[in-house]
């Protein structure tokens, strides 16, 4: 519909449901163009990204630092062990001060409410670099990888086997935006957040795609073109580790499980990976696109940075 097509790009990048199909595809197209040109540019010269990390990161930190450098800007890595964030100074005060120094903030936090509060208080754009609820930068990298492999995601069937977590939330919200169906298997009690399910179903209805939820991994994998999973123990859930590994029994992605998938399927994992959720044969197998997916974190975050910081 024309009205949503012309919606202006949001100031902040917090979760995939803020974007319409055109905006999501626009970021993928920009990322693909950056990748094709192996771009190094002065587009963001003089701009500084302040990167707040309350949790560990390999891909998000490196891809964003190098991505910012490739765009001609610079990035400052600020671990919450070092800065006064939420410990000795309120998020609100930090957001105001940081807005006076940096061109944008990027934050990896525990509660999603923390990144929402930064966005509310900051006068500059805020990018969610993973909260307990959403990981929108990951969805962009996943769908760029899918687009590269299949040409387009339209009409494909996405599948998720594992925890109903932050990574799944953006993956399932993005599926209808690119015209894909999604089939999700999570153990009882580990499903995606009900409000995200409702949003995804609404988007799917408008897009003419489907959202299928089950607790049977084989059922979810049936006919799927893309199978993705993630750790069963997200950062911050370490104390539940043993219970989770027990509760996810039968959810390890194996070639036996993938016999039910489409013969041309690919496997994705946001990483870091553990053997429980996917065995070596699949993870290091020829249908696994996990290294492309990791690389695409850089080209896609660059598209987000360029979009949010481009000179008006």
Query: Known catalytic residues?
Result: 270
55 versus 92: smaller Cβ distance to ligand NVA: 55
- 230 contacts which partner out of ligand CP, ligand NVA, none, CB within 5 to 8 A by kind? ligand NVA
Q: Which does 58 bind (CB under 5 to 8 A by kind): ligand CP, ligand NVA, none?
A: ligand CP
Nearest approach, Cβ of residue 14 and ligand CP (Å): 15
By C-beta, is 51 or 98 nearer to ligand NVA?
51
Find the binder of ligand CP among 60, 128, 225, 229 (CB under 6 A).
60
Residue 136 C-beta: closest distance to ligand NVA, Å: 12
Minimum CB–partner distance for residue 78 and ligand CP (Å) = 15
From the number of C-beta atoms within 10 Å of its C-beta (0-12, 13-18, 19+), residue 237 rates as: middle
Interatomic CA distance for residues 204 and 169, integer angstroms: 14
Opening angle at CA 144, ends 140 and 150, nearest 5: 145
Strands 104-108, 48-53: pairing kind = parallel
Q: Which residue is nearest to ligand NVA (CB)?
A: 234
Residue 222 φ then ψ, to 5°: -50, 115
Q: Measure the CA–CA gap between 233 and 243, rounded to whole angstroms.
A: 10
Nearer to ligand NVA, 43 or 66 (CB): 66
Nearer to ligand NVA, 117 or 230 (CB): 230
R_g (Cα) of the chain, nearest Å: 19
The residue within the footprint of ligand CP, chosen from 57, 114, 209, 229 (CB under 6 A), is 57
Binding of ligand CP by 59 (CB under 6 A): yes
Kindly state the smallest distance separating residue 92's Cβ from ligand CP, in Å.
Answer: 26
β-pairing, 104-108 vs 126-128, is: parallel
* Non-local CB neighbours of 187 within 8 Å, separated by 6+ positions: 215, 247, 248, 251
The least CB distance from residue 60 to ligand CP, in Å, is 3
137-148: b (≥16 Cβ within 10 Å) or e: bbbbbbbbbbbb
x-or-dash string of contact with ligand CP, 155-174, rule CB under 6 A: --------------------
Cis peptide before 7 (omega within 30 of 0): no
Tell me the CA end-to-end span of the chain in Å, nearest whole number: 26
Specify the residue, 14 or 213, whose C-beta has the smaller distance to ligand CP: 14
Residue 154 DSSP SS3? coil
Judged by beta carbon, residue 211 or residue 290, the one nearer ligand CP is 290
Among 4, 7, 40, 58, binds ligand CP (CB under 6 A): 58
User: Which residues inside 177-236 make contact with ligand NVA, applying CB under 6 A?
Assistant: 230-231, 234-235
CA angle 273, 276, 278 (to 5 degrees): 65
Residue 117 makes contact with ligand NVA by CB under 6 A: no
Question: Residue 136 and residue 143: Cα distance in Å, rounded?
Answer: 11
Determine the Cα–Cα distance for residues 124 and 84; give it in Å rounded to an integer. Answer: 19
**Residue range at the interface with ligand NVA (CB under 6 A); choices 165-173, 195-203, 204-212, 244-252:** 165-173
Q: How many CB atoms lie within 10 A of CB 7?
A: 12
- Among positions 18, 114, 138, 234, the unique one binding ligand CP when judged by CB under 6 A: 138
Residues that bind ligand CP (CB under 6 A): 57-60, 130, 138, 270-271
Residues that bind ligand NVA (CB under 6 A): 130, 165-167, 230-231, 234-235, 270
């Amino acid at each position: 519909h024309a009205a949503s097509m012309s919606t202006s790009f949001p100031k902040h990048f917090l979760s995939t449901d803020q974007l319409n199909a055109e905006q999501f595809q626009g970021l993928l197209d920009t990322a693909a163009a950056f990748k094709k040109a192996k771009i190094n540019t002065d587009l963001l010269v003089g701009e500084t990204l302040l990167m707040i990390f309350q949790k560990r990161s390999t891909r998000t930190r490196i891809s964003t630092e190098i991505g910012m450098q490739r765009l001609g800007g610079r990035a400052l890595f600020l671990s919450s062990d070092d800065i006064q964030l939420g410990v000795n100074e309120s998020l609100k005060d930090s957001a105001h001060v940081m807005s006076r120094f940096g061109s944008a903030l990027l934050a990896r936090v525990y509660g999603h409410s923390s990144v929402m509060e930064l966005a509310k208080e900051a006068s500059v754009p805020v990018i969610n670099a993973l909260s307990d609820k959403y990981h929108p930068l990951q969805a962009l990298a996943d769908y760029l990888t899918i687009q590269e492999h299949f040409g387009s995601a339209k009409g494909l069937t996405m599948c998720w086997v594992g925890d109903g977590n932050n990574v799944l939330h953006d993956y399932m919200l993005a599926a209808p935006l690119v015209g894909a169906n999604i089939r999700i298997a999570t153990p009882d009690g580990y499903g995606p957040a009900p409000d995200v399910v409702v949003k995804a179903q609404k988007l799917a209805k408008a897009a003419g795609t489907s959202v299928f939820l089950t607790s049977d991994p084989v059922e979810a994998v049936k006919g799927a073109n893309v199978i993705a999973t993630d750790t069963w123990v997200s950062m911050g859930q370490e104390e539940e580790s043993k219970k989770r590994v027990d509760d996810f029994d039968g959810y390890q992605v194996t070639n036996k499980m993938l016999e039910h998938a489409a013969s041309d399927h690919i496997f994705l994992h946001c990483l870091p990976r553990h053997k429980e959720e996917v065995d070596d044969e699949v993870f290091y197998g020829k249908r696994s696109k996990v290294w492309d997916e990791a690389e695409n974190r850089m080209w896609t975050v660059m598209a987000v940075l360029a979009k949010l910081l481009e000179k008006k």
